[in-house]
Amino acid sequence: MPKSSGTPGRGVTIADVAREAGVSAATVSLALNGSPRISAETRRRVAEVAAALHYLPNHAAASLRRQVTNTVALVVPEIGNPIYMEMAKTIQRAAQQRGYHLHLISTEGQADEEQHALETLARRLVDGLVLISLRGAAALREPLSQVRGPVVVIGRVGEPLCDNVMVDSAAGAGMAIRHLWEHGRQQVAFINGMSGTVPATERARGVHEVYRQAGRTLPTALTVQADFTLEGGYRATQQLLDAGEAFDGLYCANDLMAIGAMRALRHHGLKVPRDVAVIGMDDIRDCLITTPTLSSVSLLAAERGRLAAELLFDRLTGQTDAPPRQLTVTPVLIPRESTQIAGPPGGVSA
């Protein structure tokens, strides 16, 4: 297998791929376009060589300009998160209505996998792409600037490099804290996701801003970080309880963490919401089947998916050639049993 040339696509031609693969340039072109005239083995070998060389087809070539796959891609950080699947269903419906197929790519949160996913568009394997990234604007700037084709990012990209759908999750975090205060919870703990991700950064910003506005300070001992998972929420709650700091309210950065947190509280003999009121974020369907049902701040996943699909297909169908557009969705508070209680709360005592 040939060695990578380093910078994707720079100086690599179809002739280079043909030479390394031991076929003609015409065969490379047909293979990369998925022609049935080329055997599966040859298509595989050519694809491997092209990937190793970081070959990007010449978009000036007329044949490639005419190429249409009727396929769009959705790139998610991981497929286990129900929020991403909610977006996927919405985008798939929009694609089907327009005669497109949806190709789902999971990056497992890895930057190089995001780059490879973007290259599927650069190589014209898909016609357009929706990217959900946990990385910040600075990390996305270079890879997005190298792509020539319609891309919509669900998340924050900062400067308008491409069409972008955002949600004001910082405001949503503030809603969650205020909701707990309004229900008499004075010592509110905060379980956030891992630092370095956009969701964790935005949620922390919202929490600290609402405390600042209220002239209050969130005790350091009541803030912990964990993975955005059930297990992460469970372990983080154990950490809070072991630390011995009193708290009677708990805001978790997503619903999976909140469900894990309620399980940990229950294992310690604490009742939700009598002893600790719990609220999450995302409003996944499992909120309706937990005991008690889980209060949450909805980030309108389906709506963000719908808007992203509209932006993408507006580009693909030529309905707009305007500069990149940025849309922001406002969160909605969904109160349920996990924060509702009559009379004074109990709380976790130090």
Instruction: Record the tokens describing residue 11, joined without a space.
Output: 């100086």
89 plus 202 within the same structural domain = no
In this prediction, residue 107 carries a pLDDT of: 87
Could you give the number of structural domains in the chain?
Answer: 3
Does residue 66 have a pLDDT over 70?
no
| DSSP strand pairing (332-334 vs 295-298) | antiparallel
Instruction: Record the tokens describing residue 330, joined without a space.
Output: 């406002």
Specify the CATH number for the domain of residue 84.
3.40.50.2300
pLDDT band at 346 (very low <50, low <70, confident <90, very high): low
In this prediction, residue 67 carries a pLDDT of: 65
Does residue 52 have a pLDDT over 90?
no
132 plus 230 within the same structural domain = no
Instruction: Record the tokens describing residue 174, joined without a space.
Output: 């503030």
Work out the burial of residue 112: count CB atoms within 10 Å of its CB; fewer than 13 is exposed, 13-18 middle, 19 or more buried.
Answer: exposed
Does residue 344 lie within any of the structural domains?
no
Which residues span the domain enclosing 121? 68-166+301-329
174 plus 144 within the same structural domain = no
What does the mean pLDDT of the chain come to? 87
156 plus 177 within the same structural domain = no
pLDDT band at 271 (very low <50, low <70, confident <90, very high): very high
101 plus 36 within the same structural domain = no
pLDDT band at 2 (very low <50, low <70, confident <90, very high): low
Does residue 324 lie within any of the structural domains?
yes
Does residue 350 lie within any of the structural domains?
no
217 plus 100 within the same structural domain = no
Tally of CB atoms within 10 A around 345 = 19
Mean pLDDT of 226-251: 95
pTM score of the predicted model: 0.76
150 plus 191 within the same structural domain = no
Does residue 87 lie within any of the structural domains?
yes
In this prediction, residue 34 carries a pLDDT of: 67
In this prediction, residue 287 carries a pLDDT of: 97
196 plus 266 within the same structural domain = yes
Does residue 94 have a pLDDT over 70?
yes
One-character DSSP codes across 243-255? HT--BSEEEESSH
